[in-house]
């Protein structure tokens, strides 16, 4: 065997999780089962996403979710797949989804259930009709069986996430995960049927002159964001925005830049949801050496009060987030 082969081992997500688990003596394996269930759901969703047009399941489902947004067919299908994969895991107490008004209580109190899993089953789904990149975002929290109310149980600050990740359904299917010990990247090999480790300990570049924002809403951005954009236009920045958070973030994680979803007239507290979009993305980016703010405060420090609450988001390369932050002289610069 050539020396190269001995260092270029094939490492699946499953073996990676078990290796991580072995670093924690006394680990029960419950946590690994949860990530394994998310991996299974990701493969199933990837298959359905790729066949969505052939199976005529594109477009709207004809219902609205709790956010008042029209649900896409694939939102509903992806949500069901995740519920069916995660519902069988005995270690889960509560599931919560962007697509469901209330959390789903699987087991509580004496029946165990050490963890809560929250997810955005299909992020960027409105771009699916035109073959855009979409993703699944997930986060794992510890369950507190002393807290009776399911919504209160999952309303934990992002700093208390045990794991966070996303699955990006693009030209390839990428699985990005952190358990608080750096960020690792896997790619689905459809012929093997496994997510294969391709990059350990991803580090986001500190600077990159690219910002990602929907400039159609510029007129309603708070003054600090408008001041930053004027500065960026005068300093040779480029712009990339695909309207799918997971796709925009994956580009920034790998090549650098900054993503912003500021407060707007239609979304005065921002559009993105704190618990299952901003917090998992923030944990991933900060674990890769980046930064994540919601206005003047660190996103991961916000104490949630509602499952579906929204926050403004500024996330990406540390130097680029700081460049945005420099334009917030007072709190008024961050408010609509």
What residue ranges bind ligand AHG (CB under 6 A)?
69, 98, 120, 123-126, 214, 243-245, 271
What is the closest distance, in whole angstroms, from the C-beta atom of residue 276 to Mn ion in the complex?
8
What is the closest distance, in whole angstroms, from the C-beta atom of residue 214 to ligand AHG in the complex?
4
Nearer to ligand AHG, 13 or 249 (CB): 249
Nearer to ligand AHG, 89 or 271 (CB): 271
What is the closest distance, in whole angstroms, from the C-beta atom of residue 61 to ligand AHG in the complex?
13
What is the closest distance, in whole angstroms, from the C-beta atom of residue 137 to Mn ion in the complex?
7
> For the chain, how big is the Rg over CA atoms in Å?
20
Nearer to Mn ion, 123 or 320 (CB): 123
**Sheet of strand 163-169: strand arrangement:** 104-105, 92-97, 115-123, 134-142, 163-169, 173-178, 183-189, 194-199
What is the closest distance, in whole angstroms, from the C-beta atom of residue 116 to Mn ion in the complex?
18
Nearer to ligand AHG, 77 or 197 (CB): 77
Using CA atoms, how far apart are residues 128 and 10, in angstroms rounded to an integer? 32
Would you give the binding string for Mn ion spanning residues 99-128, x where CB under 5 A is met?
---------------------x-xx-----
Pairing of strands 210-212, 238-239: parallel
CB 144 within 8 A of CB 153: yes
Using CA atoms, how far apart are residues 124 and 137, in angstroms rounded to an integer? 11
Nearer to ligand AHG, 217 or 231 (CB): 217
Phi-psi region of 289 (alpha: psi -120 to 50; beta: other; left: phi over 0): left
What is the closest distance, in whole angstroms, from the C-beta atom of residue 213 to ligand AHG in the complex?
8
Using CA atoms, how far apart are residues 210 and 258, in angstroms rounded to an integer? 7
Nearer to ligand AHG, 247 or 304 (CB): 247
Residue 18: other Cβ atoms inside 10 A: 14
Does 73 engage in binding with Mn ion (CB under 5 A)?
Answer: no
Please name the residue that has the structure tokens 């896997």. Answer: 186
Number of continuous H segments (helices) and E segments (strands) in the chain: 9, 18
Which residues sit at the interface with Mn ion, rule CB under 5 A?
98, 120, 122-123
């Amino acid at each position: 065997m050539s020396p190269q082969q001995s260092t270029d081992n094939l490492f699946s997500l499953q073996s990676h999780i078990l290796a991580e688990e072995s670093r924690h003596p006394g680990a029960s394996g419950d946590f690994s089962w949860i990530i394994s269930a998310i991996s299974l759901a990701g493969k199933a969703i990837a298959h359905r996403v790729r066949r969505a047009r052939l199976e005529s399941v594109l477009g709207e489902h004809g219902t609205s979710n709790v956010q008042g947004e029209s649900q896409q067919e694939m939102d509903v299908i992806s949500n069901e797949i995740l519920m069916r994969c995660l519902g069988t895991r005995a270690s889960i107490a509560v599931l919560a989804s962007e697509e469901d008004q209330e959390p789903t209580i699987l087991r509580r109190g004496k029946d165990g259930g050490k963890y809560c899993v929250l997810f955005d089953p299909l992020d960027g789904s409105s771009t699916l009709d035109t073959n855009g990149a979409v993703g699944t975002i997930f986060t794992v929290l510890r369950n507190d069986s002393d807290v009776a109310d399911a919504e209160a149980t999952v309303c934990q600050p992002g700093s208390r996430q045990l794991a966070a990740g996303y699955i990006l359904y693009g030209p390839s299917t990428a699985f990005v995960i952190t358990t608080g010990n750096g960020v690792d990247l896997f790619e689905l090999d459809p012929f093997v049927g496994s997510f294969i480790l391709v990059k350990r300990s991803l580090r986001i570049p500190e600077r990159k002159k690219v910002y990602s924002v929907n400039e159609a809403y510029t007129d309603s951005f708070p003054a600090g964001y408008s001041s930053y954009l004027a500065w960026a236009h005068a300093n040779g920045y480029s712009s990339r925005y695909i309207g799918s958070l997971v796709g925009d973030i994956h580009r920034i994680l790998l090549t650098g830049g900054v993503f912003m979803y500021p407060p707007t007239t239609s979304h005065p507290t921002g559009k993105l949801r704190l618990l299952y979009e901003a917090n998992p993305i923030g944990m991933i980016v900060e674990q890769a050496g980046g930064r994540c703010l919601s206005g003047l405060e660190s996103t991961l420090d916000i104490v949630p009060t509602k499952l579906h609450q929204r926050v403004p988001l500024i996330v990406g390369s540390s130097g680029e987030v700081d460049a945005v932050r420099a334009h917030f002289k007072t709190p008024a610069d961050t408010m609509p």
